[in-house]
């Protein structure tokens, strides 16, 4: 929905572990996302089989979703390469799909278009998981901060690539990792840029993350850039 809010409605999903669940969700999207009444076998049904009726008005999202099986143990770079037949020859967004943010995708794209490099990643300043303490040799505490921002940027998982990045991945000829092989290669070629996002960002990897996201949605929906207030549940 974040991408759709900025007019990007063509999605290509690289399926791996539990890809069958993703397929089932989209193939049964209407049944998964609408109220429905199931009329079990009744005499007035012509074939005697259950009948399904969807309730209320519903606006279908304007999405085109391509589902691509990229293997169970495939690295991220190789997964991206396997999407090549569906990507065309222009630039494209890429996302890990494991975080939400109030990121302005128009500004991200404009930044990418303005520097003429092959790749842009979004940088996030993330708070430390723990507090920070500094002390003198004798043990006297001089700094005590509760979960300060880390002094470096992390990859927030929202990226823009030129299709030439796929050529770099293909040149490796093996199942390389995006973070340890491809990104350092792009950096060495002076083809990697950082878009700095200082707004809201939250990963969705752990139960703790799910709890934080549910609390944030109930409070002020900080990543809701699309405007509707449909129920979201990260449990």
Q: What is the pLDDT along the chain (235 residues), one digit of tens a residue?
A: 999 999 999 999 999 999 999 999 999 888 888 888 888 766 566 666 777 888 877 777 899 999 999 998 888 899 999 999 999 888 999 999 999 999 999 999 999 999 999 999 999 998 888 899 999 999 999 999 898 888 899 999 999 999 999 999 998 766 667 888 899 999 999 999 999 999 999 999 899 999 999 999 999 999 999 986 555 554 5
d(CA 39, CA 50): 5
- The pLDDT of residue 149: 86
Q: What is the pLDDT of residues 153-191, one digit of tens each?
A: 999 999 999 999 999 999 876 666 788 889 999 999 999
d(CA 125, CA 198): 7
d(CA 185, CA 235): 38
d(CA 175, CA 75): 6
Half-sphere exposure of 222 (CA within 13 A, CB side): 15
- The pLDDT of residue 5: 94
- The pLDDT of residue 228: 67
Helix, strand, coil % over all residues of the chain, rounded to 5: 30, 30, 40
Q: Identify the architecture of domain 2-219 in CATH.
A: Alpha-Beta Complex (3.90)
d(CA 84, CA 68): 11
- The pLDDT of residue 49: 73
pTM of the model: 0.83
């Amino acid at each position: 929905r974040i991408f759709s809010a900025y007019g990007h409605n063509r999605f290509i999903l690289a399926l791996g572990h539990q890809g069958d669940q993703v397929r089932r969700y989209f193939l049964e999207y209407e049944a998964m996302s609408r109220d429905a009444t199931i009329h079990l076998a009744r005499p007035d049904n012509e074939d005697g089989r259950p009948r399904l009726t969807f309730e209320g008005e519903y606006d279908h999202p304007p999405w085109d979703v391509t589902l691509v099986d990229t293997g169970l143990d495939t690295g991220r770079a190789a997964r991206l390469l396997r999407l090549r037949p569906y990507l065309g020859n222009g630039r494209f967004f890429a996302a890990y799909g494991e975080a939400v943010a109030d990121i302005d995708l128009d500004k991200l794209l404009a930044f990418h278009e303005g520097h003429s490099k092959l790749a842009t990643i979004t940088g996030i300043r993330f708070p430390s998981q723990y507090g920070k303490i500094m002390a003198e040799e004798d043990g006297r505490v001089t700094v005590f901060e509760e979960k300060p921002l880390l002094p470096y940027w992390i990859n927030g998982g929202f990226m823009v690539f030129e299709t030439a990045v796929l050529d770099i991945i293909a040149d490796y000829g093996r199942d390389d990792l995006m973070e340890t092989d491809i990104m350092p290669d792009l950096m060495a070629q002076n083809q990697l840029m950082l878009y700095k996002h200082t707004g809201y960002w939250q990963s969705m990897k752990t139960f703790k993350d799910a709890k934080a996201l549910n609390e944030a949605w109930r409070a002020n929906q900080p990543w809701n850039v699309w405007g509707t207030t449909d129920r979201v549940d990260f449990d």
